[in-house]
Chains A and B, each alone.
Chain A
Amino acid sequence: MTSSMHNAASGEAASTHSWVPHPVKVVLGVVTTLAITFLGLLVVTFFIGRVVPIDPVLAVVGDHASASAYEKAKIELGLHLPLWQQFLIYVKNVAVGDFGESVLTANPVIEDIKRVFPATLELATMGTIFGVLLGVPMGVVAAVHKGRWPDQLVRVLGLLGYSVPVFWLGLVGLLLFYAKLDWVAGPGRLDIAYEYLVDPVTGMLLIDSLIAGEIDVFLNALSHIALPAIILGYFSLAYISRMTRSFMLEQLSQEYIITARVKGLSETRIIWRHALGNVMVPLVTVIALSYASLLEGSVLTEIVFAWPGLGQYITNSLLQADMNAVLGGTVVVGAVFISLNLLSDILYRLLDPRAK
């Protein structure tokens, strides 16, 4: 972590000298921010894990341990050291992917996370695809018809998305489309009949089943993921369509649009080629941000749909007071979230020549 501090110093120095090429400077600056933000995350999780909670020694030895057993466990856990040394050890462990062992599953936490993370990734990815495929065209149409009914419709859909509890929408969705109409499969990732038919390669069932050539399994998995992905994706749809609308409104008022109209270009071409083309850069950053928030937001969706992902893992561990697993999961989600946030920042600055 000291090396990142040096990076910080050299990054500062670099910004005062003009000989460093611009993209390198951007990446350096972002890497520094990434390192500092991540260190901040570790400070918080360390604080939560070591300072606030129930005595971590008691969690290991139990309530009725003798004083000597307690002392021994305390030294084994490194808890007799000063706090700052404990923190350094913690940072070192996290850096090599060691989050300790889960009390609940008796596996190393990192193994558990590797097992459950692909399910969350699959869900969030499908949700984002849904949100982008519908949200971008809806935003464009709303901007073109500003103030008329398509615009109002998008506005209302957005408002509903910001106001409805995701877990409730999931339950109502299950009630309607699974129990009553039987259009989609129920909770979980696969029907029991299809389980263990494909070997995990990526851990994402949709991809694994295609690799194995098992179309039945693919279709079953698709039927299971459809409802949770659409419900999760609805929130990214609400956000993406709103942002697309406001970006498009800004572009459509520009002079080059008038020029294009004067040239006699078709309205379709002006809107979908010229204006949307210029909206792409900020839109990419918005999509990255919404992807990050879906990864996090999948916690509640996973609980409702019994989806065996990271969110469910964290929540189950939490209810069992399994702090290693909770904090390990928090660090992983935090790291992905922070990286995506900053990735969107880099993309924006690299792609948009005006944002210097």
Chain B
Amino acid sequence: MSDISSPSSTGVKAWLTSENPESHLQASCGRAYYAWLDFAANRLALLGLIIVGLLVAVAAFAPLLATASPVAPDLTQRLLPPSAEYWFGTDELGRDIYSRIVYGTRLTLYVVVLVAVIAAPVGLLVGTSAGYFGGWVDKVLMRITDIFLAFPRLILALAFVAALGPGIENAIFAIAITSWPPYARIARAETLTIRKADYIAAIRLQGASSWRVIWGHVVPLCTSSIIVRVTLDMAGIILTAAGLGFLGLGAQPPLPEWGAMISSGRKFLLDQWWLASIPGIAIFVVSLGFNLLGDGLRDVLDPKSGD
């Protein structure tokens, strides 16, 4: 009885690693546990997970962590170097750079999450439909995908933002519209390998509609490859969004977007190095975190594509 009410770690471990799982839940927990062991053996991937976890935590608790308002100017405190009061110094309007960096995590997270939420399902839908239906559907969809894949992404995003007007939502839309094609390619390749499987035939014989087969039985199997790819793309998305911000086309002042902070700190580079340097380090650390995490996930979830 005591084992169930307060399971010791060995009890949990035995439950997870059991050769004969008694329920579906136990089997999936066991699988997840082994995947986690693989993942945790890779120290760099673990570092990536910690960085990304910190990003999420900082974004969630930004008001508690920040020591000052990220947007309210205080012209008596302009361009102060890093000190005990202003950990990362202050900018040209006397705003605390540390607090701006802390609130900036929210914008970064907002961008990557929205781009992923828009681009990944579009790519998934296009790719699985092309792979499942084949024939002319496949030809048309893949031709469109190839066209988008051959475009220069940053320039196209620039042109979209030029048309829609600067702003963080438009930047997100522009990045999303240029980043779905690789997901479509991956999803199609995965679908081609499973569409002839016996269990798909069995579901169809039961009378399931094509959409039900795709949504319920093809999409779930493509998801892990897509997740790996999305994680690996996150760094690129962050860098593109920061680039748009740097050009003045992403988030608009006074929002504490890191790329825009570098752009406005540029004028003070020679004498007040911290204005432009610190947001750059923040972008770098977060991108690195996503890259490490993505590499680690790829090795665990998708071992065949690694080297």
By a beta-carbon cutoff of 8 Å, the part of chain A in contact with chain B is: 33, 36-37, 40-41, 44-45, 48-49, 52-53, 159-160, 162-169, 171-172, 174-175, 179, 245-246, 249, 292-293, 295-297, 299-300, 303, 314-315, 318-319, 321, 323, 326-327, 329-330, 333-334, 337-338, 341-342
Please name 16 pairs of A and B residues whose Cβ atoms are closer than 8 Å in the assembled complex, sorted by A: A48-B163, A165-B239, A167-B246, A168-B284, A169-B280, A171-B280, A172-B277, A174-B269, A246-B307, A300-B154, A300-B246, A300-B247, A303-B247, A334-B156, A337-B150, A341-B150
Closest CB of chain B to A172's CB: distance in Å? 7
Residues of A within 8 A of B236 (CB): 162
Complex Cα gap A341–B248 (Å): 30
Interface of B: prevailing SS: helix
Complex Cα gap A295–B283 (Å): 23
Q: Is the CB of B262 within 8 A of A168?
A: yes
Complex Cα gap A291–B223 (Å): 32
Q: Is the CB of B158 within 8 A of A326?
A: yes
Q: Is the CB of A167 within 8 A of B262?
A: yes
Tally of contacts, chain A with chain B, CB under 8 A: 139
Q: Is the CB of B156 within 8 A of A44?
A: yes
Complex Cα gap A159–B288 (Å): 7
Which residue on B lies nearest to A245, using beta carbons?
B307
Complex Cα gap A254–B61 (Å): 54
Complex Cα gap A287–B246 (Å): 28
Residues of B within 8 A of A342 (CB): 150
Stretch at the interface among B11-19, B140-148, B203-211: B140-148
Q: Is the CB of A163 within 8 A of B146?
A: no
Q: Is the CB of A333 within 8 A of B152?
A: yes
Given the interface pairs A41-B147, A48-B160, A168-B284, the reply to whether A162 lies near B155 with Cβ below 8 Å is: no
Is B73 an interface position by the 8 A CB rule?
Answer: no
Closest CB of chain B to A178's CB: distance in Å? 10
Q: Is the CB of B164 within 8 A of A52?
A: yes
Q: Is the CB of B276 within 8 A of A168?
A: yes
Residues of B within 8 A of A174 (CB): 269
Which one, A53, A167, A169, A333, contacts B155 given CB within 8 A?
Answer: A333
Q: Is the CB of A171 within 8 A of B276?
A: yes
Complex Cα gap A52–B243 (Å): 23
Q: Is the CB of B155 within 8 A of A296?
A: yes
Closest CB of chain A to B204's CB: distance in Å? 30
Is B300 an interface position by the 8 A CB rule?
Answer: no
Residues of A within 8 A of B266 (CB): 171
Q: Is the CB of A163 within 8 A of B159?
A: no
Closest CB of chain B to A300's CB: distance in Å? 5
In the A-B complex, the 7 residue pairs with the closest CB atoms: A168-B280, A40-B147, A163-B287, A296-B152, A163-B288, A53-B163, A337-B152
Which residue on A lies nearest to B306, using beta carbons?
A246
